[in-house]
A = this chain, B = another copy of it.
Amino acid sequence: MAGGFRAPSTGAVVRAVLFDTFGTVVDWRSGIAAAVGGFAAAHGLAVDPGAFADAWRARYQPAMRAVRSGARAFTVLDVLHRENLDDVLRAHGLDPAGFDSAELDGLSRAWHFLPPWPDSVPGISEIKAGYVVGPLSNGNTALLLDMAKAAGLPWDLILGSDVTRAYKPDAAAYRRPADYLGLDPSQVMLVAAHPADLAGARDAGLATAFVARPDEYGPTRAGGASQATASEAPTAGDWDLNGESIVDLARQL
Query: Which A positions have Cβ atoms within 8 angstroms of B?
Result: 78, 132, 140-142, 145, 148-149, 155-160, 162-163, 180-183
**A158→B183 CA distance, assembly (Å):** 16
**A183→B182 CA distance, assembly (Å):** 28
**How many protomers of this protein does the assembly include?**
2
Name the distance in Å between A88's Cβ and chain B's nearest Cβ: 23
Q: Are B157 and A158 in contact (CB under 8 A)?
A: yes
**A-B contact sample (6 more), CB < 8 A, given A78-B182, A141-B181, A142-B182:** A145-B156, A145-B181, A148-B157, A155-B156, A156-B158, A158-B158
**A163→B145 CA distance, assembly (Å):** 16
CB-based nearest B residue for A154: B154
Q: Select which of B157, B162, B182, B183 is within 8 A of A157 by beta carbon.
A: B157
Q: Select which of B155, B156, B162, B182 is within 8 A of A180 by beta carbon.
A: B162
Q: Select which of B132, B149, B163 is within 8 A of A132 by beta carbon.
A: B149
Please indicate the chain B residues that have their CB under 8 angstroms from the CB of A159 in the complex: 141, 159, 163
